[in-house]
Chain A
């Protein structure tokens, strides 16, 4: 099923022509209207007129997470503020978030892309979508909501939590599709197992969309077999409108990325050189239709590969493989993006805590930060150590909004790796 068959199956040649046209317009727009981009372009000794083919994109500068944070709150706008209708921020922490603004047209485009995604997995206006994602600054809730409404499906804005009510809504309103985080899906799976087959038989569930956190193929399989529905992989990020950037079709062999809205590249994260289709590298995205806040060559830090072969579904928009990991060491805990540097900043803000720390992640959203007790931190007093442990826990909680357990360890117990120190040890089985 197609939402916009003509565009979704547009011959490559025409699709690329459209991309070039939109790329040129986007580049011109940011150069003229966003001083920060003009500066970046000039530093790279490039200008809009250099863009003659799609391949010329490599002449343009990258935009990084740092660039977005440096320009917080509204440094990258290319329209006047009265044109804006929505603000979202990256799923986040109390550090400077990444703010993304939308015009009315930007929201419409994002919702339209979402509608394409849902339609290709079989959603029609007779479906009932229970949106079990948090609404608010986070894009996941609202963008899915808008996409499903656009199709004409009935949307239940249940948001996250209150499982009894979620189950009641599913049962009473005949929910066919659910949108939730993988950790909540696993929780639901445990409840379904307890309630038994008779309960499942009362429900009309057909499909689930899982987002906001990465998950393994094993987790997906487990959820499919217990909830007895299909799970469709999806990809999105707040900087690029949230969910609906790329999505699996009915054939479930990679995620179609909407190439009329985004220009994708894969580069080697170390050398920044472009990689050919099929090779794994960092996904770089340029917005092609965004008005409010266009972004050029955004470094997603997500690792994937482009699948160049044509999909059996007939869509010409190329697919990407499921995300294989991160080019940096960001991790996600309870839907919150956390960077080790944030942890480091907090540790460094406490006198004499040195750089030797490690972060351990375990199932059930458990996070442990191990800190070495060096000579400077130690005066022989146990109470002082307890206070240090308490202070660190509280400061970390304030920064990342998740309460970690802080462990004090002897110096030298944290293994020192050659070269770049490994900070994050993710032992979670569900991801």
Chain B
């Protein structure tokens, strides 16, 4: 179960603000794999998974944007009805406190991945991996 690097960027909810966030990536030839916006009216946090997270982080800093680099858990889902449901069951069973979640579909398009932001990443990973293993057996 992969641990991915997620970028969070603080943005004000104003015209042109998202464009500013994406332009940094475009200019530096960084590919966006998943993108999610959580807004609270006047401001929000953009979450981005890219192919070059460290570089993206550096470029944001240089551009004067407030960014934060953290690790998130990616749970592979079966691309069929009920795929997300079984992952949700896993999360519930392990009483994980998910702060944020969104879907990432890798290039292959065979499988989708649910990206979850949890407090204790390592423990979550261990529990879910163990559960999954049991299930597949």
Residues on A lying within 8 angstroms of B by beta carbon are: 373-375, 377-383, 385-386, 407-413
Contacts and interface: CB of A to CB of B under 8 A. Distances in A.
A380 B64 contact: no
B12 A410 contact: yes
B8 A410 contact: no
Contact of A408 (B38, B42, B61, B65): B42
A361 to B, nearest CB: 18
A380 B117 CA distance: 10
A409 B43 CA distance: 8
Question: Main secondary structure on chain B at its contact with chain A?
Answer: strand
Contacts, number: 59
Interface residues of B, number: 24
Contact of A375 (B17, B38, B44, B66): B66
B27 interface: no
A379 B10 CA distance: 9
Interface of B: 6, 8, 10-12, 17, 38-40, 42-45, 47, 61, 64-68, 70, 99-100, 117
A159 to B, nearest CB: 37
Contacts of B45: 380-382, 385
Given A373-B66, A379-B8, A407-B42, 6 more contacts: A378-B8, A379-B68, A381-B8, A385-B40, A386-B40, A413-B12
14 contacts: A373-B43, A373-B66, A375-B66, A379-B68, A380-B68, A381-B45, A381-B99, A382-B38, A382-B45, A382-B100, A385-B10, A408-B43, A409-B12, A410-B64
Contacts of B11: 410
Most chain B Cβ neighbours within 10 Å, of A374, A377, A382, A413? A382
A377 to B, nearest CB: 8
Contacts of A378: 8, 10, 66-68
Given A378-B68, A410-B65, A385 B43 contact: yes
Contacts of B117: 380
Contacts of A411: 64-66
